[in-house]
Amino acid sequence: VEPLLDLLWDKGHAVGKRPSLWQSRERVLAQLKACRDDHLRPINPTPYKVSASPSFYDFFKEMWQKTAPIFEIQ
């Protein structure tokens, strides 16, 4: 498991060092090279597992349920 994001903005203030556009590009290219080809193919890509901590899963589920529209069947 590896973190995907670095905190750059918190409570309205910049924190940490912001990478340059070139550094961001290089990071993305390196991450794409690390992915298997069958996950990246445009037609019928192979699914892959994404893990989340239990606390993040609970937070995400709660936010999703609060913001998802509720449909009524009439």
pLDDT tens column, 12-52? 898 888 889 999 999 999 999 999 999 999 999 999 888 88
What confidence tier does 8 reach under pLDDT thresholds 50, 70, 90?
A: confident
What 3-state DSSP class applies to 19? coil
What 3-state DSSP class applies to 9? strand
Considering only CA atoms, which of 60, 44, 42, 40 is closest in space to residue 52? Answer: 60
Across the chain, the runs of DSSP E, i.e. the strands, are 9-10, 13-14
Q: Is the pLDDT of residue 72 over 80?
A: no
Specify the pLDDT at position 28.
Answer: 92
Distance (Å, rounded) from C-alpha 43 to C-alpha 37? 11
Joined together, the tokens standing for residue 29 give: 């290219």
Q: Is the pLDDT of residue 9 over 90?
A: no
